[in-house]
Amino acid sequence: MGVVKLVVIGGDAAGMSAASQARKRLGTDRLEIVAFERGHFTSYSACGIPYWIGGAVDDLDALIARSPEAHRTAGIDVRLRHEVIAIDTERHEVVARDLAGGGEVRESFDHLVYATGATPVTPEWAQVSAGGVFGVQTLDDGTAIQKWLDGDPTPQTAVVIGGGYIGVEMAEALLLRGLDVTLLEKSAQPMGKTVDPDVGALVAEAIRGQGIKVVTEAHVDGLETAGGRVRAVVTPAGAVPADIVVLGLGVRPNSALAVAAGLPVGPTGGVRTDRRMRVEGTEGIWAAGDCVETRHLITGEPVHVPLGTHANKQGRVAGINLAGGYSSFPGVIGTAVTKVCELEVARTGLTEKEAARAGYEYVTALVESTSRAGYYPGASKMTIKLIAERRTGTLLGAQIVGRAEAAKRIDALAVAVWNRMSVEEMTALDLSYAPPFAPVWDPVLIAARKATEAVHKTA
């Protein structure tokens, strides 16, 4: 067997996980790897950017899991500041532009891993030449924001547009940097795509309690600029001063290159793969990470859920398979957690809106409890919401808001959703107990009990 050549497009989680797995299995004698990355960094935590901006993480290097030099030492030819601009699927060749030195290079491949990630949603009104308007997707974006905040004149006011994960995290980060922050959200509550309105109201209350101005049902008409800098965000209610604007309007799969190459793309805009992460209808072409479409395990529908956890798993699966092994990625259930000011906000499975759209009849249970035994120091309020199928009681989804230990509980609920447990089965779960960690009746058990009662009433 001769030397196999692997080309990777994208040097972050999915792409480099695939490359590392393939290298581990085939070694350096049997596998040549070239990885193209248009930015300045490889294998980094984009999720950590708000915490670096806000000062919780001191050192940029802490966000980098493996540097280009480390990958090169492992036998991976990492080429930074190279953007792949074309894929020839018939000739098994890619064309990359050297963004630093100029010119183009062509590279043939036996296997190709498409791991281009996602791109921030940027409306036409936000596409201005003035400085101070940022998306937050890559570490290069993070360094650009940091440079702007440290520049002269020092920004005093910030507007974050969009109240999803990155929006609320960046709003808090900018507040911690001492800026006067306004969060504009088009829905009735922040995190409207993540949690139901009753839970979102708790999030909004917490954000406002920290001193961030939250404007819901907000519409943005455009940006005011002067002297090459952004000055304000224009809304029907008037202009909101802004020395920096952060776009938190979500992301879309970076699949334009795939579309141009004739690779299949699904209804979410993500590249379509099989369970082994091979691009459908191809041989030797794989895709992983935020650029792909995956399957929701509850609804069976295609979804785009851009998270580093999925990207690393999918990259690992692709690397194992292209190296001759066998692995599969079954799909997702939408588990996520974030820190919003003093709150932990977590979810798994379906929201009410998603359950209704999927055709489920369901019941809900909303309970308030404490994170620890009420008498133990540090005990704080926790709200848990469960969504269960009306007839069977199968757990469809869960949401948690609390000042501590929300992440601990959402993982238990995610396991229950994954394994199609009923809320009645959950009432007997053998969960850990000690006063510093939980009340004798854990909030998960209380919520399961209440949901069971709701199921029985409608049976």
Q: Supply φ then ψ for residue 188, to 5 degrees.
A: -70, -25
Query: Final residue of a domain: which of 322, 353, 376?
Result: 322
User: Given this model, what pLDDT does residue 28 score?
Assistant: 86
User: How far is C-alpha 206 from the chain's CA centre?
Assistant: 22
User: Given this model, what pLDDT does residue 122 score?
Assistant: 92
How many domains does one find in the chain?
3
Q: Is the domain of 273 the same as that of 288?
A: yes
Q: Is the domain of 25 the same as that of 105?
A: yes
User: Given this model, what pLDDT does residue 407 score?
Assistant: 86
Q: Is the domain of 83 the same as that of 100?
A: yes
DSSP labels, 305-356: ---HHHHHHHHHHHHHHHTT-------B---EEEEETTEEEEEEE--HHHHH
Largest CA distance in the chain: 70
Q: Would residue 334 count as lying in a domain?
A: no
User: How far is C-alpha 103 from the chain's CA centre?
Assistant: 34
Q: Closest Cα to residue 428, out of 454, 402, 449? A: 449
User: Given this model, what pLDDT does residue 277 score?
Assistant: 98
User: Given this model, what pLDDT does residue 341 score?
Assistant: 82
Q: Is the domain of 75 the same as that of 19?
A: yes
Q: Would residue 336 count as lying in a domain?
A: no
Q: Would residue 356 count as lying in a domain?
A: yes
Q: Would residue 202 count as lying in a domain?
A: yes
Query: Final residue of a domain: which of 322, 350, 372?
Result: 322
Q: Would residue 332 count as lying in a domain?
A: no
Size (the chain), residues: 459
User: Given this model, what pLDDT does residue 7 score?
Assistant: 98
pTM: 0.94
Q: Is the domain of 207 the same as that of 258?
A: no
Domain residues for 77?
4-119+251-322
Q: What's the rounded Cα separation, in Å, for the pair 306 and 336? A: 11
Say which DSSP state 274 is in.
-
What are the pLDDT tens digits along the chain (459 aa)? 579 999 999 999 999 999 999 999 999 889 999 999 999 999 999 999 999 999 999 999 999 999 999 999 999 999 999 999 999 999 999 999 999 999 999 999 999 999 999 999 999 999 999 999 999 999 999 999 999 999 999 999 999 999 999 999 999 999 999 999 999 999 999 998 899 999 999 999 999 999 999 999 999 999 999 999 999 999 999 999 999 999 999 999 999 999 999 999 999 999 999 999 999 999 999 999 999 999 999 999 999 999 999 999 999 999 999 999 999 999 999 999 998 888 899 999 999 999 999 999 999 999 999 999 999 998 999 999 999 999 999 999 999 999 888 888 999 999 999 999 999 999 999 999 999 999 999 999 999 999 999 999 987
**Is 47 a known active-site residue?**
yes
Q: Is the domain of 111 the same as that of 178?
A: no
Q: Would residue 414 count as lying in a domain?
A: yes
Q: Which of 5, 30, 47, 297 is catalytic?
A: 47
Q: Is the domain of 150 the same as that of 108?
A: no
Peptide bond into 330 cis (omega under 30): no
Q: Is the domain of 256 the same as that of 270?
A: yes
Q: Is the domain of 346 the same as that of 450?
A: yes
User: Given this model, what pLDDT does residue 310 score?
Assistant: 97
Q: Cβ(250)–Cβ(162) under 8 Å? A: yes
Report CA torsion sign: 37, 39, 44, 46: negative
Query: Final residue of a domain: which of 247, 274, 297?
Result: 247
Give the CATH number for residue 430. 3.50.50.60
Say which DSSP state 79 is in.
E
Q: Supply φ then ψ for residue 174, to 5 degrees.
A: -70, -35
Q: Is the domain of 236 the same as that of 133?
A: yes
- Residue 92's Cβ-side half-sphere holds a number of Cα atoms within 13 Å equal to 15
Q: Is the domain of 371 the same as that of 308?
A: no
Q: Is the domain of 33 the same as that of 92?
A: yes
User: Given this model, what pLDDT does residue 1 score?
Assistant: 54
Q: Cβ(315)–Cβ(8) under 8 Å? A: no
DSSP-based three-state secondary structure for 422: strand
Q: Cβ(82)–Cβ(98) under 8 Å? A: yes
Residue 4, C-beta contacts closer than 8 angstroms, at least 6 positions apart: 26, 30, 31, 32, 110, 111
Q: Would residue 333 count as lying in a domain?
A: no
Q: Would residue 67 count as lying in a domain?
A: yes
CB atoms within 10 A of CB 375: 9
User: Given this model, what pLDDT does residue 261 score?
Assistant: 98
Q: What's the rounded Cα separation, in Å, for the pair 93 and 108? A: 4
